[in-house]
Structure 1
Amino acid sequence: MGGLGKTTLVQLIYNEPEIQKHFQLQLWVCVSDTFDVNLVAKSILDASPKKNYDTDKPPLDRLPKLVSGQRYLLLLDDVWNREVHKWERLKVCLQHGGMGSAVLTTTHDKQVAEIMGADKTYNLNVLKDSFIKEIIVARAFSSENEKPPELLEMVGEIVKRCRGSPLAATALGSVLLTKTSVQEWKAISSRSSICTEETGILPILKLSYNDLPPHMKQCFAFCAIFPKDYKINVEKLIQLWIANGFIPEHEEDSLETTGKHIFNELASRSFFLDIEEFKGDKQYCFRTTCKIHDLMHDIAMFVMGKECVVAIKEPSQIEWLSDTARHLFLSCGEPEGIFE
Structure 2
Amino acid sequence: FGERRWWVCVSERPNHKDLLRQILREVCKSSGENTDCSLTDLCTQLQNELSKEKFFLVLDDVWEVKWWEEEVLGTLMAGAMGSKILITSRKKYVSEGMGAFFMHELQEFSFHQSWDLFLKEVLRDGQTEEDSVMHKIKFVGEGIVKKCGGVPLVIKMVGSMMRTKKMSREDRKSLVHSKIWEWKTPAASSSSIEIGGDILPVLMLSYDDLPYYLKSCFAYCCIYPKDYEIERETLIMQCVAHGLIGEGIDVEATANQYIEDLIRWCLIEEIDLKSIKLHHILHDLPLYISGREYGHASTTKHTCPLSLLGVHDAEAHKHNTLETANKVCTLLDDSNSYLQ
TM-score, structure 2 normalization: 0.80
Structure 1 residue 71 and structure 2 residue 54: aligned?
Answer: yes
> Following the alignment from structure 2 to structure 1, what is the Cα–Cα distance between the partners of residues 176 and 158?
9
Query: Offset of 1:327 from its aligned partner?
Result: 2.1
Provide the rounded CA distance (Å) in 1 between the counterparts of 2:155 and 2:284.
18
- Paired residues for 1:283-302 under 5 Å: 288-302=274-288
Over residues 276-314 of structure 1, what are the superposed CA-to-partner deviations in whole Å (9 max), with x where a residue is unaligned? 12xxxxxxxxxx211101121111111222343221314
Structure-2 change in CA distance of 1:42 and 1:162 (3 Å): same
* C-alpha deviation, 1:198, in angstroms: 5.2
Q: What letter matches 2:9 in structure 1?
A: C
Match of 2:153 among 162, 167, 190: 167
- CA 1:188 to 1:265, structure 2 compared with 1: closer, same or farther past 3 Å? farther
Deviation at 1:27, TM superposition (A): 2.0
Seen in structure 2, the aligned counterparts of structure 1 residues 113 and 215 have a Cα distance that, compared at 3 Å, is same
Kindly provide the CA deviation profile for residues 214-273 of structure 1, in whole angstroms up to 9, marking residues without a partner as x. 2211111111111111101112211211111111124xx521221122111111111111
1-structure distance, mates of 2:331, 2:253: 26
C-alpha offsets along residues 69-90 of structure 1, whole Å, 9 cap, x if unaligned? 421111100000132x643331
SS at match of 1:78: strand
1:159-203 residue CA offsets vs partner (Å, 9 max, x unmatched): 212221112211211221222233333333333538999515222
Structure with higher RCO (Cα < 8 A, 6+ apart): 1
Distance 2:38 2:70 in 1: 20
Equivalent residue runs for 1:97-176 within 5 Å: 97-141=79-123, 142-144=125-127, 147-154=132-139, 155-176=141-162
In 1, Cα distance between equivalents of 2:50 and 2:100: 20
2:175 corresponds in structure 1 to 188
Q: Which residue of structure 2 lines up, in the alignment, with residue 212 of structure 1?
A: 210
1:226 corresponds to 2:224: yes
Give the one of 320, 330, 333 matched to 1:330. Answer: 333
| 41-50 vs 312-321, greater mean Cα deviation | 312-321
In 2: Cα distance, 1:96 partner to 1:65 partner: 8
Aligned length: 303
Cα distance in 2, alignment partners of residues 158 and 51 from structure 1: 44
Cα separation, 1, equivalents of 2:279 and 2:98: 25
Structure 1 residues 200 and 36, CA, compared in 2 at 3 Å: closer, same or farther? farther
Give the deviation of 1:153 after TM superposition.
Answer: 2.9
2-structure distance, mates of 1:169, 1:230: 23
Q: Which runs of 5+ in 2 are unaligned?
A: 185-194, 297-305
- Correspondence for 1:265: 261
Give yes or no for contact 1:139–1:174 (8 Å, CA) kept in 2. yes
Query: Quick check: 1:95 aligned with 2:93?
Result: no
- Structure 1 144/176 Cα, relative in aligned 2: closer, same or farther at 3 Å? same
User: Which position in structure 2 is the counterpart of 1:14?
Assistant: none
From the superposition, tell whether residues 148 and 214 of structure 1 become closer, same or farther in structure 2 (CA, over 3 Å). closer
Q: Which residue in the other structure is 1:8 paired with?
A: none
Q: CA RMSD in A?
A: 2.6
TM-aligned CA distance change 1:203 to 1:153, over 3 Å: closer
Percent identity over paired residues: 27
2:334, 2:114 → 1: CA distance? 39
Aligned counterpart, 2:64: 81
Query: 1:309 maps to which residue?
Result: 309
C-alpha change, 1:275 and 1:62, in structure 2 (3 Å) is closer
Query: Relative to 1, partners in 2 of residues 1:318 and 1:76: Cα closer, same or farther, differing over 3 Å?
Result: farther
Distance 1:76 1:94 in 2: 11
- Distance in 1, Cα, partners of 2:78 & 2:85: 13
1:28–1:74 CA contact under 8 A, matched in 2:
yes
CA shift for structure 1 position 113: 0.5
SS of the aligned residue for 1:105 comes to: strand
Q: Which amino acid is the alignment partner of residue 44 of structure 2?
A: D
8 Å CA contact 1:311–1:318 kept in 2: the answer is no
Matched, 1:177 2:159: no
Closer/same/farther in 2, CA of residues 135 and 303 from structure 1, 3 Å limit: same
**Secondary structure in structure 1 of the residue aligned to 2:113:** helix
Tell me the distance in 1 between the aligned counterparts of 2:227 and 2:207: 19
User: 1:31: which partner in 2?
Assistant: 10
Kindly report structure 1 stretches of 4+ aligned residues shifted beyond 6 Å.
Answer: 50-55, 194-197
Please tell me whether the aligned partners of residues 72 and 102 of structure 1 are also in contact (alpha carbons under 8 angstroms). yes
The change in CA–CA distance for 1:33 and 1:147 in structure 2 (over 3 A counts) is farther
